[in-house]
Amino acid sequence: MKVTEVRITKLKEPMGKKIAFASVTIDDQLTIKSLEVIDNNGSVFVAFPARFNKEENKSYPYIYASPTLKKDIQDAILDQLDSKPKTVEQTFGADPIPTVPASVNLEEPLF
């Protein structure tokens, strides 16, 4: 399995130890959302989505993955987190705003 896409939303202000949220796509087929990037006194890691049981004082992950897949996901997220932010042109191409073809009459109702 290969991580094919990584999306990161950096927080303007940290929420406790959380510094970003991330989602990853694996093999262009499976997307995992709500991953949290945690900075624990300089040690940055990725936390997978989990639910917390107050009665047992224990967290249960929503996603079970092999240790190698978890490492691949964490490495992909942390690599992109450290890289320079992309410009609009790098993300969307030279023309980020789609244009309406001249053949479309904007005066007529669509329906």
Identify the weakest region by mean pLDDT among 61-65, 68-72, 104-108. Answer: 104-108
- At residue 88, the pLDDT reads 45
CB neighbour list of residue 22: distance below 8 Å, 6 or more residues apart? 6, 7, 8, 9, 35, 36, 37, 46, 77, 81
| Separation CA 47–CA 59 (nearest Å) | 11
Please determine, for residue 19, whether its predicted confidence score (pLDDT) is greater than 60.
yes
| Separation CA 86–CA 77 (nearest Å) | 15
Q: Which domains are seen in the chain, by residue range?
A: 3-49+61-89 (3.30.1120.40)
86 and 92 in contact (C-beta within 8 Å)? no
